Structure 1
Amino acid sequence: MADMTGQEKFDQQQEELERDLDSRIDSKDLPVANIMVAGITGTGKSTLINAVFGSDMAATGRGKPVTDHIDEYANGDIPIHIWDTVGLELDSEKTRESISAIKSTIASKAGLDDQYDRVHAIWYCINSGSNRYQGAELEFIRELHAIGVPFIIVLTQCSGEEEEVNAFEDEIRKINKSMGMGDIEIVQVLALPVKYRGMAQAIPAFGLDKLVDVTLKLLPTFIKSGFIAAQRVSQSEKRNACEEIICSYVRAAQHGFWDKVPLINVFITDKNIMNMFQKLGEMYNTVLSPESINKIINRSGVDFKNNFFGLISPIDMGYNKKITNLLKQKKEAGFSVKIDDVEKNQRAARMIAFYGYIFVDSIEELWKELTEEKLKDVDMVVNELIRIINKKLSERKTKMDRRR
């Protein structure tokens, strides 16, 4: 048998990773995405990093040197590692040395069999007001792009005249195309609101959600869930990821043998709901311990007694109607609801779907209400989740009673 080409080997690794992830829906660890953020000094890299991943991600002094030219930022609770290029200046000899070292580091990682231990995407930041795209910087971009890592140019600090910023972007695209780099995505971003003297209102931040969306399209599938959980910009991406988690647990219950065996299925379903809650929490940067999840379950009606009657009782108790109504409402509210085909006799699957959507609904509300700082207080988050879940369950019961 002839040796595989590099591309064939890469494709085989991708397939193995996908099978591995599909077979581990109960895995406690999200994959960690490695994003390199490059650019010369003053382009707002730290501001961008903090705006997308949280205000303390790129705090001064928190970086760990990877090489003399790269610092790594990480937070144990967030599945993202940021590789930040340091000390780059336009057309300086030091920059040329840095370019060579950075390119060598990324290329060496790209050649490893372990696809988790490599740079998964590069954000190259350019100040939109510089109007300069040439020299060592352009050469750096050309060399990094040639490695084959997903590459995005981020035009930062886009608070100037829209026509001027658009003209600069057009110039970059024209140059890139002439150099065989026409596939590079360009995203305009204003990471923080800006207010100028004499202005009644500040220019609102924009572009962060687009940067997240573009990055997700370019990232390999096996790493996307970690990036979605880490980013704090796009709620829609978090919702989509949460629906995929719910769907995976529902499908597993549909096809599982023990999920259909009376009494045993109560314990199995309880365990699956606990694991699902943990994974859904991670998507919203909320790391819930088993103790915290137990507290939520015990104090919000998602308990053994409730599941016992929902899964075993020969009397319907209104569960099927309640679940059907919830799935219908979620679809009307913009959820994809890929599991509305679950049959009424698949009681474990339907119960998992019901509690999954109630939890996502609740954590979304919490996400809107609490500041980033408050979300770090796990005890407060758990108590608020219990309050919101109970409120939503009570509202649903009231609606059901009125319809009878």
Structure 2
Amino acid sequence: MSDNPTLKIEESPEKSDTSTSNYSNIVENAIKSFRSEIGKVNILIAGKTGVGKSTLINSIFHDNLAQTGTGKPVTQEITEISKEGLPLSIIDSKGLELKEYNQIIGDLKEYVENRKANSDIRKHLHVAWVCIAEGSARIEEGEEELIKMLLEYMPVIIVITKCYTFDNGLQAKAKETFPDLNVMRVQSIPIKLEGGHEIKPKNLVELVLLTNNIIIPIIQNAFIASQKVSLDLKKQQAESLIKYLMKDSKGITKNSELINNIVYMITSISGVYGFYLKMEFVNDIVKIIFGENDSRLKKIIKSIYKKKSKTATKNNKVTGEEASELVGYIGELYLLTIIKSFKTKLGEMPTESEILQYIVNTLNKGTEKLNTN
């Protein structure tokens, strides 16, 4: 590969086998690549019945997973919850309130050991949240034994739930029992009290950031994509992806390679923000960004390259540096669209139709600005 690769900017998509009719194949490959590379994060959530595990799961992860996910029984007291398209598996363990908790912990240990024995680290359990309700006077024997067992296999966070009253000292007691463990007090949902006073959710973002910091790097991307409370984490991941693909695009010599990078970038950013990667949805995004017969893509190319290199425009060629700039421009414009859409929805997930309209509006403004510079 040469040090200064060039790309014919007037080469038609038909000639490079990347016409609109063929984008569906590229999108399908991009979705498969994203899902394969991001893997899945596996989180064990344990605690007594009624401590608020389902509420915590729904408050932190996309798609109201505890309600809409598929629960697969592993044992009588262990259920694995997952949902197609979400790179997350929740292992829900219950029954610690029972007298036979030793048997339950034994069954769970066997399950954890079997997962740990898998040669693929992405199949392991990556972190445990042991949930204890704030109203508890102390960490009970079953909970203590469970935590000790889990620490042999994975990082553990003690999550004190239902923190809508004053701190009763449970956090301090937990730190006294397990001085090296992270303990987080959380309130998962808003609660309205008499007189109109409302207690807001507490420390959900902090729990997500803490979890992301202690899990192994290879599955951090899956965790970031699955959670919904820290949009900053999603933004950072998307920005890193754009920078990586900009660097990769400096070696591009063919239109097909450029198109592949752009489509993969669009697909991955969508996945990072929790959109379900259906073929039709991603294909619609690509078509909007590229425009009818690639008209918008060509307009962006010409506007950028006209300013960058008179020689390149004259020869109908662009350097790899300019191809990198194109990828960066489209990536930043699409990321801006996603960020604005979440802000408009006050942090809630936009619908597919809403995000498509946001893309049209942002791209129209972006290309107009290019043409006036």
TM-score for both structures, normalised by structure 1: 0.75
Offset from partner CA, 1:193-215 (integer Å, 9 cap, x none): 112223x3211101111111011
Residue 194 (structure 2) aligns with: 197
DSSP-derived class of the 1:82 partner: strand
- With over 3 angstroms needed to count, the CA separation of the structure-2 counterparts of 1:401 and 1:60, relative to structure 1, is closer
Residue 208 (structure 1) aligns with: 204
Letter in 2 for 1:176: F
Inter-partner Cα distance in structure 2 for 1:41 and 1:119 = 21
Letter in 2 for 1:185: N
Residue 213 (structure 2) aligns with: 217
Inter-partner Cα distance in structure 1 for 2:304 and 2:206 = 49
DSSP-derived class of the 2:337 partner: helix
Residue 129 (structure 1) aligns with: 135
Letter in 1 for 2:126: H
- With over 3 angstroms needed to count, the CA separation of the structure-2 counterparts of 1:174 and 1:357, relative to structure 1, is same
Q: Among 148, 153, 156, which residue is 1:142 paired with? A: 148
Letter in 2 for 1:244: S
Inter-partner Cα distance in structure 1 for 2:71 and 2:44 = 13
Inter-partner Cα distance in structure 2 for 1:399 and 1:60 = 43
Inter-partner Cα distance in structure 1 for 2:229 and 2:246 = 28
Inter-partner Cα distance in structure 2 for 1:45 and 1:360 = 32
Offset from partner CA, 1:247-283 (integer Å, 9 cap, x none): 22111112x2xx1x3xx3x332122111111111011
Residue 356 (structure 2) aligns with: 386
DSSP-derived class of the 2:34 partner: coil
Residue 11 (structure 2) aligns with: none
Are the counterparts in 1 of residues 131 and 160 from structure 2 also a CA contact under 8 Å? yes
DSSP-derived class of the 1:28 partner: helix
Are the counterparts in 2 of residues 25 and 248 from structure 1 also a CA contact under 8 Å? no
How many residues align? The count is 333
Are the counterparts in 1 of residues 85 and 277 from structure 2 also a CA contact under 8 Å? no
DSSP-derived class of the 1:43 partner: coil
Offset from partner CA, 1:347-400 (integer Å, 9 cap, x none): 11111111111111111222334499975xxxx51x433322232233345555
In the alignment, does 2:69 pair up with 1:48?
A: no
DSSP-derived class of the 2:258 partner: helix
Inter-partner Cα distance in structure 1 for 2:231 and 2:209 = 11
Residue 78 (structure 2) aligns with: 70
Are the counterparts in 2 of residues 344 and 350 from structure 1 also a CA contact under 8 Å? no
TM-superposed CA distance for 1:190, in Å, is 0.2
Are the counterparts in 1 of residues 138 and 173 from structure 2 also a CA contact under 8 Å? no
TM-superposed CA distance for 1:101, in Å, is 1.0
Are the counterparts in 1 of residues 71 and 79 from structure 2 also a CA contact under 8 Å? yes
Are the counterparts in 1 of residues 290 and 297 from structure 2 also a CA contact under 8 Å? no
Residue 365 (structure 2) aligns with: 395
- With over 3 angstroms needed to count, the CA separation of the structure-2 counterparts of 1:132 and 1:56, relative to structure 1, is same
Are the counterparts in 1 of residues 136 and 170 from structure 2 also a CA contact under 8 Å? no
Q: Among 101, 104, 110, which residue is 1:98 paired with? A: 104
In the TM superposition, 1:5-404 aligns within 5 A as 27-29=33-35, 30-54=38-62, 56-59=64-67, 62-89=70-97, 92-145=98-151, 147-162=152-167, 164=168, 167-177=169-179, 182=180, 184-198=181-195, 200-254=196-250, 256=251, 259=252, 261=253, 264=254, 266-301=255-290, 304-308=294-298, 316-318=305-307, 346-370=321-345, 375=350, 381=352, 383-397=353-367, 399=369
Inter-partner Cα distance in structure 2 for 1:60 and 1:78 = 12
Q: CA RMSD in A?
A: 2.9
- With over 3 angstroms needed to count, the CA separation of the structure-2 counterparts of 1:64 and 1:149, relative to structure 1, is same
Letter in 2 for 1:114: D
DSSP-derived class of the 1:78 partner: coil
Unaligned 5+ residue runs, structure 1? 1-23, 321-342
DSSP-derived class of the 1:240 partner: helix
Letter in 1 for 2:249: A
Residue 3 (structure 2) aligns with: none
Letter in 2 for 1:360: L
Inter-partner Cα distance in structure 1 for 2:207 and 2:103 = 29
Which structure would you say has the larger RCO, counting Cα contacts within 8 Å and 6 or more residues apart?
2
Are the counterparts in 2 of residues 189 and 207 from structure 1 also a CA contact under 8 Å? yes
Residue 328 (structure 1) aligns with: none
Answer with 387-396 or 28-37: which moved more.
Answer: 387-396
Unaligned 5+ residue runs, structure 2? 1-29, 310-317
DSSP-derived class of the 2:90 partner: strand
DSSP-derived class of the 1:155 partner: strand
Offset from partner CA, 1:278-311 (integer Å, 9 cap, x none): 1110111113344433432333456734545665
